[in-house]
Amino acid sequence: MTAALLAAATGSGAHLAHASAWAVFGVGAALILTGAFGVVLLRNPVHSALMLVITLIGVALEFIDESADFLAAVQIIVYAGAIVILFLFVIMFLAVDRREPAAPEPTRAQRPLAVLLGLVALAELLILSRVQHWSSGAHHVAGSLKGGEDVQKLGESIFTRYLLPFEMTAALLVIAVVAAVVLSRRHGRVAAEMSPAEQEEATLR
Amino acid sequence: MGDPVFAHGLTLAVWLILLVKTVAVFVIVLVSVLFMVMYERKAVARLGVRWGPNRAGPNGWLQSLADGTKLLFKEAFTPRSADRLVYKVAPYLMLVPALIAFAIVPIGGTVTVAHNTTELQLADPPWGILFMLMASGLAVYGVILAGWSSRSKYSLLGAVRASAQMISYEAVLGLTTATVVLVTGSLRTSSIVAAQHGGFLYHWNVIHTALIPFALFAVAITAEMTRPPFDLVEAEEELSGGYMIEYASVDFAWFYLSEYAALVTNSAFIVTLWFGGPDGPRITGHSIGPFWFFLKLLIILFVFVWIRATLPRLRYDQLMELGWKRLIPAALIMLMVVAGFQINREWGFVAIGAGLVLAGVLWRAIDVGRGATVVESGPDPRVAQEAEQ
């Protein structure tokens, strides 16, 4: 938004808009990297979750830089506002919110495998960004976002051209929710059916 | 579209105007918090046939200033086992969203300063109203982190209650806001206000969307702010103060401040979304948008106080049932009905019919589900009682 606004505002001073777009990109990238390193390096799970929020805010900034304002807002509302909160819930309820020594590796090949997969992913990203228009392989699928209401374009492409994938994703999510409910009901009783003493034992160990 | 102040480039005057507007929004929110604390205490007192604060200043109107000053000079206490950094940061995480959300509220009309015309609104982004949802979404962090970092069972329980409540009711908030967006066709707050312009009351969204979405929105935003009757987050009887129980001094003042700032800002959003913002009759040919805006704001704020003085607190399970089993389905159905009427009248009635059928099915499903839970956890006490008789 800042970039678009400045571009509209300055008119002739296009270089200023360009510079500000780079500045926004730089700040966003710094936030993403800080957050990402924090998630991995910090020992306390709650701190890691907070660093994840910083990464998400950085990603939202990059969306804004690309004039995808709606995606930026949704990124904050959905991911930062709901999903990481659920992470925090789980961390707090499982009482894992304390510093832990590094646990022994579950499988011995995990570490080399992780390095290998990371390198493959990096190579993939680099190649795609060289040969294709970023990783989707498509350029301006729903029309250019520069200037104009991105919500309309997003809505049009979701409800016309990409209706089937969109609905399928929705169906998958519903199935996942139902499955989660069924699984949690099968093993053990839900909290509402426990006595207060049992509840306390289960949650506040 | 957008603020006309940017039409001639970013000159020094434009920067100054932006600075003044930023400070003005800040001052409006802070002053209205000081005012609101007193307004609420006085109104609640009168509703309970008491006098309320009447010592500090004329008629006691400076009491909140005195309380604030006292808070600043108290000892800033940090529990020994607290997670220090998070404990200190949490109040600000709650304060900032409450303060910045007011930036997108259109107060009405334009002013011209030194040949620069500007809207009486700090920011008018094309995704405007999502900013409101964003701010209320981020405010949850202040609550949950404050509760967690204090390392106290009561504050943790309060935080979990509060954040579960806020997340649940955010869905209703989003869905009802979507009906407004559907009617208006834009996310911009200035467009939402402009679409309701002209024709006192008749064009307002509260009428345009048939009242029900507004009612849902009002309930949801009351719960979102953890205002009474949804204030079980800080139920003194059970949690002795909720997520901010360990906080004192300035940090506590921030929580208090952000609670009231959120109240003022969200009331401003109610005015903007549903009551036409600064729309109102002209007086002697002059448009007096800001007057109407603040008048409506005062009325909405009074209704919040009135609700607090009137309704008893809900239980936690009642709160969750209301949110998930009543409000969210109702909001979804209303979204469908409003969408139907946007196409034409026939589709609107089809949507109403489908909505009624869906509501019936859901009602039955909830009933069956409740019966199943009772059977699993042993005999239904009501059945047992009947058998005894």
Q: What pLDDT digit, counting tens, does each position of A73-98 carry? A: 888 988 988 889 888 888 887 766 56
Half-sphere exposure (Cβ direction) of B173: Cα atoms closer than 13 Å: 25
Q: Which of residues 1-60 of A touch B (CB under 8 A)?
A: 1, 5-6, 8-13, 16, 44, 46-47, 50, 53
Q: Are B133 and B174 in contact (CB under 8 A)?
A: yes
Q: What is the pLDDT of residue A175?
A: 96
Q: Are B105 and B272 in contact (CB under 8 A)?
A: yes
How far is Cα B374 from Cα B381, in angstroms, rounded to an integer? 9
CB contact under 8 A, B138 and A80: yes
Q: What is the DSSP letter of B54?
A: -
Confidence of residue B232 (pLDDT cuts 50, 70, 90): confident
Q: What is the pLDDT of residue A123?
A: 93
Q: Bigger pLDDT: A184 or A8?
A: A184
Nearest CA in chain A to B130: A73
Q: What is the pLDDT of residue B307?
A: 92
- The yes/no answer to whether this complex scores an ipTM above 0.85 is no
Q: Stretch A103-126: mean pLDDT, rounded?
A: 84
Q: Which of residues 57-76 of A touch B (CB under 8 A)?
A: 69-70, 72-74, 76
Burial string for B164-188 (b: 16+ CB within 10 Å, else e) reads bbbbbbbbbbbbbbbbbbebbebbb
Chain A touched by B131 (CB under 8 Å): yes
Confidence of residue A146 (pLDDT cuts 50, 70, 90): low
CB contact under 8 A, B10 and A9: yes
User: Residue A189: its chain B contacts at CB < 8 A?
Assistant: 376-377
Question: What is the distance in angstroms between the Cα of B328 and the nearest Cα belonging to chain A?
Answer: 16
How many of the other CB atoms lie within 10 Å of CB of A68?
A: 21
Q: Is A11 a residue whose pLDDT tops 50?
A: no
User: Residue A86: its chain B contacts at CB < 8 A?
Assistant: 167
pTM of the full structure: 0.83
Residue from B134, B167, B332, B343 whose CB has the most chain A CBs within 10 Å, to mutate: B134
User: Residue A70: its chain B contacts at CB < 8 A?
Assistant: 127, 130, 187
Q: What is the pLDDT of residue A8?
A: 46
CB contact under 8 A, B127 and A69: yes
For chain B, give every domain's residue range.
4-108+123-366
Q: Look at the block and give the residue holding tokens 């399928």.
A: A168
How far is Cα B129 from Cα B334, in angstroms, rounded to an integer? 19
Q: What is the pLDDT of residue A3?
A: 46
